[in-house]
Amino acid sequence: MTTSQTPAAPQAQPPGSPRQVARVVKRFLLVLLIGTVLVVFGAFAYLKWLEGRIDRIPVEELVSLEPTVPSIPRTFLIVGTDSRENVPDEFEDFFGDFGGSRTDVIMLVHFVPGGGAQLLSIPRDLKTNIPGWETNRINAAYARGGPDLLVQTIKQELGISINHYIEIGFGGFAQLVDAIGGVTLDFDYPTRDLKSGLDVGAGLQHLDAEMALAYVRSRFYQEFRDGEWTSVGGADISRTRRQQRLLLALFDHVTSRAGVFDLPGFVATLTDQITADEGLTAGVLLELGRDAMALRSGQLETATLPVRASNEERAYVVPIEPNAAVLLDAFRNGRSYPES
């Protein structure tokens, strides 16, 4: 009589054995791979959603933009208009009641390959020859022929190739400041502008959206010095410096650790409030975001085209040479700005 033998149970692998470690590693890599795929596709879907929120200017209406060249910085023309659309109803009545829009801010921005970024402000009263039109202030190009004629004029007058166009109005700017809960600036004196509604004390002041807009719009800027209100910095150059200062404060906040929680709302508001060329795709947005988050304000150079009054009947400004030519050459080639 034969007796059947029960098969021996497989021996459990001792903890930390090579086979058990291999199984754990495989599971980890699988989870990591799946997580990576989800993050990539989730990020891409989010970018596509953001891209879809942007108002677009048709390609045929912006034919003067240049294609991007890898070895040359991608240059953005950023235009701030005085459009009253989207200005919150609760703001005080310091904005007037004007239809349409005119260029109030003209800036060129690019990220330099290898690190750093440069911003160049163009005074809106710059005397220029507008292609197909008369000699006029540079902001008249927008009024005569919209974004494309402004791009043409800048290319002709300043010799700068432009790859992308971004436009935002008063209301859109206010919404951006509101998205991060305001910005903080330091003032040497109590400051006001009875026309724009600016009214702040001395020292560190937290500006809400309305007061930040009053600050960058100010043309009748006054400081309380020695017991009386004194007009200072009323010219366009001082105004562009204030605009740059506030933009740097915005930039510092959204790229800081404290601002990381405000970033999603800021980006969503930005894409909802701008008008841009059709080439500003999800890929370009991703590249911009990556470059911006790698920077700090110390790596963002700012400058304004040096100009002087032209002493003509019309209130033009004209470039100061050779300073303007040197500055423009530095911007075109992504070199550090000369010391002023």
**Secondary structure string (H, E, C) spanning 47-106:** HHHHHHCCEEECHHHCCCCCCCCCCCCCEEEEEEECCCCCCCCCCCCCCCCCCCCCEEEE
Place of tokens 């841009």: 276
In 215-230, which positions are buried (b, 16+ CB within 10 angstroms) versus exposed (e)? Answer: bbbbeebbbeeeeeee
Answer yes or no: are the C-beta atoms of 253 and 183 closer than 8 Å: yes
Distance CA(127)–CA(311), nearest Å, equals: 12
- Pair of tokens at residue 220: 């009748």
Q: Given this model, what pLDDT does residue 318 score?
A: 94
Q: Which amino acid is at 264?
A: P
Q: Given this model, what pLDDT does residue 52 score?
A: 85
Q: Given this model, what pLDDT does residue 34 score?
A: 47
DSSP assignment, residue 24?
A: H
Q: Given this model, what pLDDT does residue 190 score?
A: 97
DSSP code string of 141-200 = HHHHHHHHHHHHHHHHHH-----EEEEE-HHHHHHHHHHTT-EEEEESS-EEETTTTEEE
Distance CA(300)–CA(115), nearest Å, equals: 10
3-state helix, strand, coil in the chain (%, to 5): 40, 20, 40
The pLDDT tens digits for 92-126 are 565 555 555 678 899 999 988 777 899 999 999 99
Give the architecture (CATH level 2) of 53-333. 3-Layer(aba) Sandwich (3.40)
Q: Given this model, what pLDDT does residue 255 score?
A: 82
Q: Given this model, what pLDDT does residue 167 score?
A: 94
Q: Given this model, what pLDDT does residue 251 score?
A: 86
Residues of the chain with pLDDT under 50: 34-41
User: pTM of the full predicted structure?
Assistant: 0.82
- Pair of tokens at residue 325: 């030519």
Q: Given this model, what pLDDT does residue 38 score?
A: 38
Q: Given this model, what pLDDT does residue 119 score?
A: 94
Q: What is the mean pLDDT of the chain?
A: 83
